[in-house]
Amino acid sequence: MTIREIAQILGASVHTAEEELLDKDIETAFGSDMMSDVLAFADEGSVLLSGLLNPQVIRTAHMLDMPCIVFVRGKKATPEILALAEESRIVVLETPIRLYSACGRLYTAGLDSR
Amino acid sequence: MEEEALHFHFDVDGNNFASAGEASVQVKRLLRQMGFSPDTIRRISIAMYEGEINMVIHAHGGDADVYVYPDKIRVVLSDTGPGIKDVSLAMQEGYSTAPDNIRSLGFGAGMGLPNMKRYSDKLEVRSTVGVGTVIEMEFISA
């Protein structure tokens, strides 16, 4: 599933400086507000869904080579977070949908976890 | 017999939570330029990042030294923080002494040291209460 498709399914707004990143294919997803758990349990290259909003969410994703972060529950990324994401070549999506529902929609659409 | 290593030094700023992880990002970039495998680079950057976060949370920052050998990478994190009272307890998943404000930032779940152990091939923790902590990790490059 591409990042573009994920954004459509979640009705998300998209932040990236590189349009071509939206065509990147993603196979797995991980949802958590606890970054230590993301580092412990998430698969590399997954999309990260989180309701936590701070620069360390971007860094955590960067360490795991995650190409995309979805901020759920209507969280709006700050300019600082967006700048760090851009530097890390990570696409930021924002959706009003809650974490559980957002994960459910992606799972139903065929995005699995390993 | 130790082969000659490339040495990189980083200061970890303890006063700025937002900048925590900058050294790990740089190391990730350097190792990529040197052609190490993505899996090896990921293990190192995750473990080092956890260490950096720990230094910022608990020890007002510290020093990170990375030694790159042809077949392995050694990461040494040293601080002059409060030290770890019971290392074996700190190695248990879920044990944390981090304050609540850190938990609200997504860390302090008691996964830091366990993650460092999980992702490294060798982990050594030397800590003296009131003096500081030195963490040495070794990664065999795949």
Q: Would you list the domain boundaries of chain B?
A: 6-140
Q: What is the CA radius of gyration of chain A?
A: 12
Residue A101 is predicted with a pLDDT of 98
Nearest to B21 among A33, A56, A65 (CB): A56
Give φ, ψ of B31 to 5 degrees: -70, -30
A114: pLDDT strictly greater than 80: no
- DSSP H helices in B1-142: 22-33, 38-59, 87-90, 100-103, 112-119
CB spacing of A56 vs B17 below 8 angstroms = yes
The pLDDT tens digits along chain B (142 residues) read 466 899 999 999 998 888 899 999 999 999 999 999 999 999 999 999 999 999 999 999 999 999 999 999 999 999 999 999 999 999 999 999 998 888 989 999 899 999 999 999 999 999 999 999 999 999 999 8
Residue B2 is predicted with a pLDDT of 60
Give φ, ψ of A27 to 5 degrees: -105, -25
Closest chain A C-alpha to B1 CA, distance in angstroms: 32
pLDDT in tens, A62-99: 999 999 999 999 999 999 999 999 999 999 999 999 99
Nearest to B42 among A57, A60, A64 (CB): A64
Please check whether residue B49 is in contact with residue A57, taking contact to mean a CB–CB distance below 8 angstroms: no
Q: Domain spans of chain A?
A: 3-108
Nearest to B106 among A40, A57, A88 (CB): A57
Residue B142 is predicted with a pLDDT of 81
User: Regarding the domain delimited by A3-108, which CATH topology (the fold level of the hierarchy) does it fall under?
Assistant: 3.40.1390
Please check whether residue A91 is in contact with residue A74, taking contact to mean a CB–CB distance below 8 angstroms: no
Give φ, ψ of A92 to 5 degrees: -105, 125
Quick one: DSSP state of residue A8? H
Counting one residue from chain A and one from chain B, the pairs whose CB atoms sit within 8 A come to 68
Interface test with B, best of A30, A34, A35, A36 (most B CBs within 10 A): A36
CB spacing of B46 vs A63 below 8 angstroms = yes
A102: pLDDT strictly greater than 70: yes
Nearest to B32 by CA among A69, A65, A66, A114: A65
B85 φψ region: left (φ > 0), alpha (ψ -120 to 50), beta (else):
alpha
pLDDT in tens, B24-52: 999 999 999 999 999 999 999 999 999 99
Residues B76 and B105: their CA atoms lie apart, in Å, by 25
A60: pLDDT strictly greater than 70: yes
| Beta-carbon contacts of residue B80 (< 8 Å; ≥ 6 apart) | B59, B60, B62, B131, B132
CATH architecture of B6-140: 2-Layer Sandwich (3.30)
